[in-house]
Amino acid sequence: MFETETVLDRRRLRRHLSFWRLAAIAAIAIAAGAYFSNGDTLAGLTGKKQIARVTLEGTISEDRKKLRMLGKIAEADHVAALIVFVNSPGGTTTGGEAIYEALREVSKKKPVVAQFGTIAASAGYIVGLATDHIVARGNTITGSVGVIVQWPEVSDLLDKVGVKVNEVKSGLLKATPSLFQPLDEPGRKVTSEMVTDSYRWFLSLVEERRGIKADNVPGLMEGRIFSGRQALAHKLIDEIGGEAEAVRWLEDERKIAKKLKVVDWKPSDGSRFGLTSIAADISRAATSAALTAFSERAGETALLRGFSLDGLVSVWHPSEN
């Protein structure tokens, strides 16, 4: 009898231990999920108010995950405001346009402020134009209002190595400009018209959003860059400072509750715990490291990096002599 009760007690103890082990695993999973989602999921469940922070660094492109994330921020009741940290020389003009429109949708529901880092030029400046207030460092590089399209032309090289490219096309302007033939006058004309159209759109954004006349700002229409102090003098930005000044503006001018936590939001890649997701993360990291090493060894130039951007480009980089 005594042995039977002992066995039953041990079984009950095992069941209790199993329950608490499962509970502990579930708690760890929830905590890890909240961590990997940068706190926004947990804050949403608790209803705790926050200021969302979105970081846009490097080349700006039309990223659907980022656009969906901005849509979620617009609809999130626990997000009181949005800070957009921009540290980018620019990118594709359509990428800047897409993020601009998404941020304007956010601003219809909650205040949005931009904080410029080391550089926020071209398409990076387009992003800033979408916000209600722009804060930049005194030495931030900004401006570079304009559009460019670049492509290499290798017809002479092909002639030297004895390679001929044949083509049959439906019209004279199809596939113009081309890598494989010099740019003729009709091709130059239509390409220039396209660049001019996008440039006028960019200028209209500057004038509309900043309340200025572009031709009153020295060099603006020529695509020059400005320091943060120069940009402030010409009303291209609103304030010199960093995140503290951005938060203070939200509190003072938009009456956002003081001392709200600023929470980073990042695009969701779905579950981050599966073997497939982990393998993909490892693969991406290895590929990035390999490309970085190759770029350093090959001495990749800013011009060559520009060739990797298809379409109209709003990007700034210094000339390399």
For residues 128 and 120, the answer to whether their CB atoms sit within 8 Å is yes
CA distance 295 to 290: 9
Active site residue 174: yes
Give the list of residues 6+ apart from residue 47 with CB closer than 8 angstroms, or none. 77, 78
CA distance 108 to 313: 28
User: What local confidence, expressed as pLDDT, does residue 25 receive?
Assistant: 65
The three-class DSSP label of residue 321 is: coil
Backbone angles phi, psi at 176, to 5 degrees: -115, 130
Query: What are the distances in angstroms from CA 29 to CA 34, 35, 265?
Result: 9, 10, 19
Residues in the chain: 321
Which residue, among 147, 127, 126, has the nearest Cα to 200 in the 3D structure?
147
Active site residue 255: no
**pLDDT tens, per residue, the chain with 321 residues:** 555 666 556 666 666 555 556 656 655 655 555 554 544 545 555 568 999 999 999 999 999 999 999 999 999 999 999 999 999 999 999 999 999 999 999 999 999 999 999 999 999 999 999 999 999 999 999 999 999 988 888 888 888 899 988 889 898 888 888 888 888 999 899 999 999 999 999 999 999 999 999 999 999 999 999 999 999 999 999 999 999 999 999 999 999 999 999 999 999 765 444 444 444 455 445 544 444 444 444 444 444 444 445 567 767 766 654
CA distance 39 to 195: 42
- Angle at which helix 93-107 crosses helix 64-75, to 10 degrees, equals 10
Which of 65, 174, 189, 261 is catalytic? The answer is 174
Query: What are the distances in angstroms from CA 275 to CA 272, 280, 283?
Result: 9, 9, 12
Cβ neighbourhood burial of 247 (10 Å; 0-12, 13-18, 19+): buried
User: What local confidence, expressed as pLDDT, does residue 84 receive?
Assistant: 98
User: What local confidence, expressed as pLDDT, does residue 274 receive?
Assistant: 46
Which residue, among 300, 121, 122, 152, has the nearest Cα to 228 in the 3D structure?
121
CA distance 118 to 129: 17
The pTM of this model reads 0.75
Which residue, among 262, 228, 241, has the nearest Cα to 141 in the 3D structure?
228
Q: How many CB atoms neighbour CB 97 within 10 A? A: 22
Q: What is residue 67's DSSP assignment?
A: H
CA distance 125 to 119: 9
Task: Kindly tell me the number of DSSP H helices and DSSP E strands found in the chain.
Answer: 11, 9
CA distance 97 to 127: 8
The pairing of beta strand 79-92 with beta strand 141-143: unpaired
CA distance 153 to 286: 32
The pairing of beta strand 79-92 with beta strand 313-315: antiparallel
Which of 37, 88, 122, 314 is catalytic? The answer is 122
